[in-house]
Amino acid sequence: MTGWVWRSFDELTADELHDIFALRQTVFVVEQQCAYLDADGVDKRSRHLYTRDGSGLVVAYLRLVEPGVKYGEPSIGRVITHPSVRRTGLGRVLMAEGLRAAAEFYPGAALRIGAQSWAENFYSSLGFERVGSEYLEDDIPHVEMIRA
């Protein structure tokens, strides 16, 4: 890995944005067979975290969304790892860096996420608690979770 890179939307280069969108589309659209509008306007109000492998491929990514955009609280979303690095622990390291930065940018604030239901145990292990009932988003079961 080449280290973690944090950027506001305006700081992202065209190449960085392309590589991030390529990863997001590879997994969320193609792998999960889900047609949805990934460029949802939220990226402009988010900080973006990613890392590349030794060949330059973006292999892990998340966005930290400002409070008041998706939820009243700040949120973490689009959490993703490339298929080539799954089950290596990189997703947990990615989330640890996201949580560290969230605490720095939004001290004392709770975080809210909309997690795919299959990942609920993963997020629970990071201190998130389910709130509310399961719901469908783009035909995929999700649950809202909060971390105080």
Q: So where are the chain's domains?
A: 5-147
The pLDDT tens digits of the residues spanning 23-82 come to 999 998 888 888 888 889 999 999 999 999 999 999 999 999 999 999 999 999 999 999
- Topology at the third CATH level for domain 5-147: Aminopeptidase (3.40.630)
Q: Which of 5, 129, 107, 108 is nearest to 61 (CA)?
A: 5
pLDDT at residue number 28 = 87
Q: What was the pLDDT predicted at 65?
A: 98
d(CA 98, CA 75): 10
Output the pTM of the full model: 0.93
